[in-house]
Amino acid sequence: MGKIAKAKFLRFSPKKAQRYLNAVRGLDVNVALQKLDALKTPLARAIYKVVKSAAAGGEGRNYYIKKIFATPGPSLKRVMPRAFGRADVYKRRMCHITVEVEER
């Protein structure tokens, strides 16, 4: 069993996070960190921190990302004003990101 790190209650939808997670799944940790560092989005920086945390303390070891996935967290319900005095409810979604790294 490898080392696991989690980031909870991130203010990004799990569906949008999936795009970044698919880009680094199965890669060596160093290559994945370089890829995420090149992307200057807040979501990529959040994933960078989780991957770095999972591989912490393993200097000189050849880790790769065995599992990486996002699960939905709680949603914040918000109201948007609409025409004729009506209101629509929309959700601000959150996600939990889990990373498991293992030595090759």
Whether the model clears a pTM of 0.85, i.e. scores above it, the answer is yes
Among candidates 92, 88, 64, which has minimal Cα distance to 76?
Answer: 92
- Domain residue limits at 61: 3-103
39-70 pLDDT per residue, tens: 989 999 999 999 999 998 777 688 999 999 99
The number of domains in the chain is: 1
**37-48 b/e with 16+ CB inside 10 Å = b?**
eeeeeebbebbb
In this structure, what CATH number is given to the domain that contains residue 81? 3.90.470.10
